[in-house]
Amino acid sequence: MENWFCRLAGVPVTAIAKYHDDACGCTIEATHNTIAHEIGHLLGPPHIRGLQVGGDDYRLGGSKQDAPDGYTSGIANVMAGGDQVWPANAVSWQERMAQHTGTSPRAWWATENPLPPKLLNA
């Protein structure tokens, strides 16, 4: 799967490393586009483990900012070493929507499945 940002920008996703994964007993080729990953940080989210567990430990300046498990808990995700974008990557958008609407970030969600338009009653 090619990263959405890289596809829009015309930047190829390149393999940067191969490693042995003890969990599956296989060799994994990590494809990762640094530009998409770093733009992700500009939008606010930490490495994937921080998105999964929450809290500030994995955020910039946090005690686990560069901890290895910050990447390996979701290696396929762009905020680890992969090229996939998951609904969890919408956290910055959810937080901003909550600020603008006076609601909770949990009131907003992202999905990989398109939703049809919905008419809202005034």
| pLDDT tens digits along 5-53 | 445 455 555 566 677 778 778 776 655 567 778 888 888 888 888 888 8
What average pLDDT does the chain have? 76
The reply to whether 104 falls in a domain is no
Using an 8 Å Cβ cutoff, are 28 and 21 in contact? yes
How many domains does the chain contain in total? 1
Burial status of residue 71 (CB atoms within 10 A of its CB: 0-12, 13-18, 19 or more): buried
- In this prediction, residue 33 carries a pLDDT of 66
Q: Which tops the pLDDT comparison, 9 or 71?
A: 71
Domain that holds residue 43: 4-85
Beta bridge partners, 15, equal: 31
- 3-class SS at 107? helix
Using an 8 Å Cβ cutoff, are 60 and 41 in contact? yes
Which range has the worst mean pLDDT, 13-22, 64-73, 78-87, 112-121? 13-22
The reply to whether 50 falls in a domain is yes
d(CA 4, CA 9): 9
Q: pTM, whole model, 2 decimals?
A: 0.57
- In this prediction, residue 1 carries a pLDDT of 39
